[in-house]
Amino acid sequence: MTDLEIELKALMLASLRGDPASHRALLDRLSRRLRAYYKGKLGVVGRGVVEAEDLVQEAILAIHLKRHTYDPREPLTPWIHAIARYKLIDFLRRNRASPAEVPIDDADDVMAHDDNADAESTYDVRRLMQRLPKGMQCAIEAVKLDGLTVAEAARRCGLSEPGVKVNIHRGLKALAALIARETQT
């Protein structure tokens, strides 16, 4: 097992327990690796840095939303690889690029390189959020953007506390779907 695997898995386990700092550190590390991976892949078909960034964000959202599917008895790296590759194939199909042009190999190492040149993606989350139902919008804004507690958000949005949590989860899922549609060129 590599040092990277041990380090990332420790962050993942802490993040599953609900530790925000670990979650942030994990997503940050992963986003750099994913950026290098997607830039390399999309470069082959002449797609740009911005599209690679869209994909990085889609993958980060997927990792966040699907983190309950990680089995702590297994190593983390293959789980990340599978999501990264799945989102790449999905992106290529949406954009009608022939998968044959982008060689996607099981042996590809998603984690091989690091790239921290953060870029703007093609979409604006705040704008996309306006398309969500009111409850989801309010819950995400309150808890995720303004940093209120769930109890405070419940008061602000006129929802119950479980209602706030459900609305955040559904809202992020809906947001991920909107982003996927938005990045269809």
Partner 1 sequence: MKTDDLIALLSTNVEPVDRNAVVRTLSVAIIGATVAALGIAFAGLGFRPDLTTTRALIYLAIKLAFAIGIVGLAMIYLMRLARPGGERMMSPFVIAVPFLAVVILAAISLWSAPPLYWERMIVGEEWLECLLSIPIIAIVPFAISIWAVRKAAPTNLARAGAFAGLVAGGLSAMAYALHCTDDSLPFIALWYGGTIVLCTIAGAALGPRLLRW
Q: According to CB under 8 A, which one of 43, 48, 78, 162 is a site residue for partner 1?
A: 78
CA distance 178 to 61: 12
Q: Is there a contact between 48 and 66 (Cβ–Cβ < 8 Å)?
A: no
Tell me the closest approach of the beta carbon of residue 1 to partner 1, in angstroms: 16
Residue 33 in tokens:
């690796």
Considering the complex, state which of residue 17 and residue 46 has its C-beta at the smaller distance from partner 1.
Answer: 17
By the 10 Å C-beta count (0-12 exposed, 13-18 middle, 19+ buried), 145 is classed as exposed
CA distance 50 to 134: 30
Tell me the closest approach of the beta carbon of residue 51 to partner 1, in angstroms: 13
CA distance 33 to 109: 10
Of the ranges 1-9, 36-44, 73-81, 97-105, which one interacts with partner 1 (CB under 8 A)? 73-81
Tell me the closest approach of the beta carbon of residue 11 to partner 1, in angstroms: 11
Interacting residues toward partner 1 by CB under 8 A: 15-21, 23-24, 27-28, 31, 35, 53, 56-57, 60-62, 64, 66-72, 78-79, 81-83, 85-86, 90, 106, 118-121, 123-126, 140, 143-145, 147, 149-150, 165, 172
